[in-house]
Structure 1
Amino acid sequence: MDRPKINEDYLESASFFDIFNEEDYFLTTKRIEGEFVEQQIIRHPIIEQTIFEHVTFSECDFDKLELTDVIFKGCDLSNCLLTEASLYRVEFHNCKMIGVNFDKSYFNNVVFDNCLLDLANINQANLKESNFKASSLKDVSFNDNKLKQVVFDDCDLNKMTILNTKLKGIDFSSCRFETIDIEEFGIKGLKVNADQATFLARYFLGIKVSY
């Protein structure tokens, strides 16, 4: 995977609200820390080579958001509408993202590391070379997606819904779930551990496995 291309020595301390200084809602080479951004509606904001640290975005609507070479650290994006977003070389570390909506988005080299994504919507999305690491994706809606080189590592997938999405080449074996809503159509080529295989056997075939 490609990491965000950011030279921190050249970042300027700034406010997210500086984005309104540009007619096309553009931010670049900024470091933004400790802000509270509430109920902002911006169509097609563009942010490049920027680091956000401990910034809270509360119920914001950033339709068609474009992020390139951006890092979020300890941020809260819960219940934000980020539909039709384009994310390229973007990392989220220790972020709270409950109920975030990424429907119809494009991810390329995106990392979610130790993030809380419960109840998120990631539907009709295209995900390429993206990683979910040590993150919670409970009750996530993950339908009608196209996946290429996507990694799930040590994640909680309980009650996740994955419909009309081919999982060939995906590895769930290091992840956890008690139940998951998934289609037989999609699991061909999916790698699972023994407990997960037992659940899927019961789910699709009604097979009872004894030990």
Structure 2
Amino acid sequence: MFQYIDRQYERVDFSQQDLKNGELKGCSFIRCIFRGTALDEIWTSGCQFIECDFGGATLNASLHKRSAFTNCRFAGANLFVAKFEDCKMMGSDFAGALLDGIAIEGGDWSYTNLRQVNLSKQTMKGIRLMEADLSESNLQKADLREADLTGAKLFKAVLKGADLRGAKMDRIDYRSFDLTGVRIDLEQAVNVARSYGAKVD
């Protein structure tokens, strides 16, 4: 096990390295490469990862608290049972990433690419997903109460059994996904009706 505290790295290539079971506190990584890197069970706190490439990396059972992963790429990365607490993930791309068992507590996931990922049964209450692309993602039985989904893309997303009560749904195209079995509140129901041309008084 290793520990890095308040270190800064820019354009460093960590590809294929074994960085399992490490602890990172207050570290900064700018445009660094972690392709195929083993980051299983790593723990980050207050770290910043800016425009980093985690393509094909393994982050199984990793824990991240108040860290930022902004405009990062996770193509083909494995985040099985990884946990993110109050993290800032804005603009990051998770296309092709394995997110099974991931835990998300709070945080800002706005402008992320979450196309076709599996987020079924996830508790994402209150998180920010503004303008996030959730097209064709699996959100079955997900708890999205009070989440901010303003402008999010939900084209062909699977939402059966999901709970959207209290979520901000401005600029959502309700006709782009199946609402069967989805729990919504009264305000959302009115907006759904309006999206299909109904006049609600």
TM norm. shorter chain > 0.5: yes
- Matches for 1:154-173 after TM superposition, within 5 Å: 154-173=146-165
Distance 2:82 2:145 in 1: 18
Counterpart for residue 13 of structure 1: 3
Deviates more, 1:87-96 or 1:179-188: 179-188
Equivalent of residue 115 in structure 2, options 106, 109, 123: 123
Counterpart for residue 97 of structure 1: 89
Distance 1:85 1:131 in 2: 21
Counterpart for residue 137 of structure 1: 129
Q: Please state which structure has a larger fraction of its residues in strand.
A: 1
State how many pairs are aligned: 197
CA deviation digits over 1:46-83, x for unaligned, max 9?
21222100110011111122211111111111111112
Distance 2:30 2:132 in 1: 24
Equivalent of residue 25 in structure 1, options 6, 11, 17: 17
Counterpart for residue 195 of structure 1: 187
Q: Please state which structure has a larger fraction of its residues in helix.
A: 1
Deviates more, 1:178-187 or 1:51-60: 178-187
Asked if the contact 2:142–2:159 (Cα under 8 Å) also holds between the matched residues in 1, the reply is: no
* Unpaired segments ≥5 residues, structure 2: none
C-alpha change, 1:114 and 1:124, in structure 2 (3 Å) is same
CA deviation digits over 1:1-42, x for unaligned, max 9?
xxxxxxxxxx6423798994xx83222222110111011123
SS at match of 1:195: helix
1:208 partnered with 2:199: yes
Distance 1:61 1:73 in 2: 20
SS at match of 1:202: helix
Which amino acid is 1:105 matched to? Answer: A
SS at match of 1:104: coil
Offset at 1:178? 2.2
Identity percentage of aligned residues: 23
TM-score, normalised by the number of residues in structure 1? 0.84
CA deviation digits over 1:75-133, x for unaligned, max 9?
11111111222212111112111111111222122122221111111002223442213
Asked if the contact 1:78–1:99 (Cα under 8 Å) also holds between the matched residues in 2, the reply is: yes
1:106 partnered with 2:106: no
